[in-house]
Amino acid sequence: MDMLSFDFMQRAFAAGIIIALLASIMGVFIVLRRMSMIGDSLSHAALAGVAGAMLIGINTSYGALAFSCIAAFLIEAIRSSFNKYAEVALAVVLSGGMGLAAVLISLGKSFNTDLMSYLFGSLVAVSSQDLIIISILGSFLMFSMVLLYKELFAVTFDEETAKLAGIPVKAVNICFMLMTAVVVTLSIRIVGALLISALIVIPAAVSVQLAGSFKSTFFISAVVAVFSVISGLYISFLFDLAPGGTIVLIAAAILMIVLLVKKLKGALN
């Protein structure tokens, strides 16, 4: 039977493609800013939000979004205090989010099984309501990235020069963090909290190796991410595997192949 005849697979593919596009585009800025761990930091905060929402009985998407946005503000606040050591902010929020998630999960022992889909992703976890939320927020994020493209470009490569050019660097950084938080929150259903960072970073890493211009970096990253998600969902359906892990393994394999081919070409030359 054709897998697309199942409603849950239609929702999974639609949500997966939207998430792949968002994660890959944000990933380019994240990798170039040397903040590759931001996905891990925000995803652990989002996981704490999921656990907290389950504990008090509200929609988990709202809890994840609230906690990841708070974490985004904290990262930017801490980062401003450690200008030369931005990774400190990521480490602090990551460990804090993980600790809070562990405490909340231990308080709600009855929903530990339900959390597995948030940790590694699930094909059946994406509801019609989730797809609507992902579509609306995804469209808003795409519009925001286009609108702020020049500002994000300037801040990514040189914050000091951007300040001199009159760009509100602090406001742009806060917007960037919040957009990343939303992308991470939306991605948890398909990829899982433990693996979303890889979907953000790996396609961008592939594009950095292959792209000849800044704009082509986005295109290559998006192609790698969409291919990884579509093939990962297909394989995970056929063999009953965790979709998040399958998607990430495919993306990682692409990166390894690209690096190997480049190394062989370098050796031959």
Under 8 Å between Cβ of 9 and 3: yes
Positive or negative CA dihedral for 237, 240, 243, 248?
A: negative
Least reliable range by pLDDT among 200-204, 226-230, 242-246: 242-246
Right CATH for 3-197 from 1.10.1740.10, 3.30.2350.10, 1.10.3470.10, 3.40.718.10: 1.10.3470.10
Please write the tens of the pLDDT for every residue from 56-112.
Answer: 888 888 899 999 999 999 988 887 777 666 678 888 898 899 899 889 888 876 555
Q: What are phi and psi of 121, to 5 degrees?
A: 85, 160
The DSSP H or E segment spanning 6 is none
Copy the structure tokens of residue 192.
């899982």
Domain ranges of the chain: 3-197
Query: In angstroms, how far apart are the furthest CA atoms of the chain?
Result: 62
20 pLDDT band, cuts 50/70/90, is very high
The reported pLDDT for the residue numbered 227 is 97
| pTM across the whole model | 0.90
Least reliable range by pLDDT among 44-48, 122-126, 177-181, 235-239: 122-126
Please write the tens of the pLDDT for every residue from 27-48.
Answer: 999 999 888 889 889 999 999 9
The DSSP H or E segment spanning 9 is helix 7-32
Closest CA to 36 of 173, 159, 198: 198
Burial of 34 (0-12, 13-18, 19+ CB in 10 A): exposed
Under 8 Å between Cβ of 122 and 189: yes
